[in-house]
């Protein structure tokens, strides 16, 4: 296949025993994803965790097509997949089989299985859109749909006293847009709050991916992973993603507040179906 506008790589699944023996470079090689948003490119990472694909598309002055990749083994990218694109940049458009979805920052579009032609465009080359892409295998076609940030289900949780005051925006949930297995949402931490997902949890039946963004220049998020009694950390910059296998916790603390997009794929689409981890279990 000729991929003029696409670069992609694969990540094999890692078990918890192997991960516990890894140093910094190995952990980053297997779980950390950088360079998601490159001008004029679609960047895709095919993972062997529930076959989730994590990627980014950054159109500038030209339209970028979503090209098929060898890893999916299909003629079109979405022949046997569904996809969610979340815009974290300037205004842009996702066009699916001729139907344009105009998206502002933090809007999301769901594209169902069997969508054939997909492309990405920016409204202003000087303020390009940045589309965060998430795709998983699908077993049936659900209707494509645009969800604006104002239409997402909002939950305000936490407090300044525990440094985790936050707003959760659920794009995909049981009472909203239907998907085969993708569950996606966004969390915005309030100024002065830095912790996400603590107390933490695991869910062996679903993998998860985080994209950290809206992190100020020079700031970092320390993302925690691993089995509860064998934790590790990965230092995250702005607009970088991290993979979380079903056996791993996924939590983070920043040097300032930030936002992140969480996405899951696996056996169910129940956002609340998690196995809680107590503080006494953490090491």
Q: Which residues carry a binding-site annotation for Zn(2+)?
A: 201, 203, 208, 250
CA distance 16 to 6: 31
Pairwise CA distance, residues 258 & 251, whole Å: 13
CA 243 – CA 35 distance, rounded (Å): 15
Q: Can you point out the beta strands (E) in 104-247?
A: 108-111, 118-122, 131-137, 145-147, 153-157, 166-170, 183-189, 195-196, 201-202, 206-213, 221-227, 230-236, 240-244
Angle CA 33–222–219, to nearest 5: 90
Closest CA relative to residue 10, chosen from 83, 69, 66: 69
Tokens of 14: 């890692």
Residues of the binding site: 201, 203, 208, 250
Q: Which helix (H) or strand (E) holds 26?
A: helix 24-31
Please, what's the b/e burial string for 195-234 (b: 16 or more CB within 10 A of its CB; e: otherwise)? Answer: bbbbebebbeebbbbbbbbbbeeebbbebbbbbbebbbbb
- Number of Cβ atoms within 10 Å of the Cβ of 256: 16
């Amino acid at each position: 296949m000729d991929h003029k506008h696409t670069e992609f790589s694969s990540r094999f699944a890692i078990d918890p025993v192997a991960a516990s023996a890894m140093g910094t470079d190995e952990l980053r090689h297997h779980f950390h994803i950088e360079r998601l948003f490159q001008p004029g490119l679609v960047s895709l990472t095919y993972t062997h965790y529930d076959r989730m694909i994590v990627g980014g598309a950054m159109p500038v002055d030209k339209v970028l097509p979503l090209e098929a990749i060898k890893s999916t083994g299909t003629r079109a990218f979405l022949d046997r997949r569904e996809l969610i694109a979340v815009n974290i940049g300037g205004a842009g458009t996702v066009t699916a089989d001729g139907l344009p979805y105009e998206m502002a920052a933090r809007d999301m579009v769901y594209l169902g299985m069997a969508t054939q032609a997909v492309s990405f465009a920016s409204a202003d080359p000087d303020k390009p859109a940045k589309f965060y892409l998430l795709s998983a295998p699908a077993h049936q076609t659900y209707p494509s749909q645009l969800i604006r940030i104002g239409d997402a289900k909002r939950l305000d949780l936490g407090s300044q006293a525990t440094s985790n005051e936050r707003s959760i925006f659920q794009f995909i949930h049981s009472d909203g847009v239907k998907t085969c297995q993708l569950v996606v949402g966004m969390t915005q931490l309030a100024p002065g709050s830095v912790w996400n997902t603590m107390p933490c949890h695991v869910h062996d039946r679903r993998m998860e991916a985080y994209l950290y963004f809206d992190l100020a220049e020079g700031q970092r998020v320390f993302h925690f992973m691993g089995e509860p009694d064998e934790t590790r950390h990965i230092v995250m910059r702005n607009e970088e993603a991290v993979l979380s296998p079903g056996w791993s916790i996924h939590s983070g603390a920043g040097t300032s507040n930030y936002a992140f997009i969480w996405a899951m794929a696996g056996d169910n689409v129940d956002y609340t179906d998690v196995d809680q981890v107590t503080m006494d279990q953490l090491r």
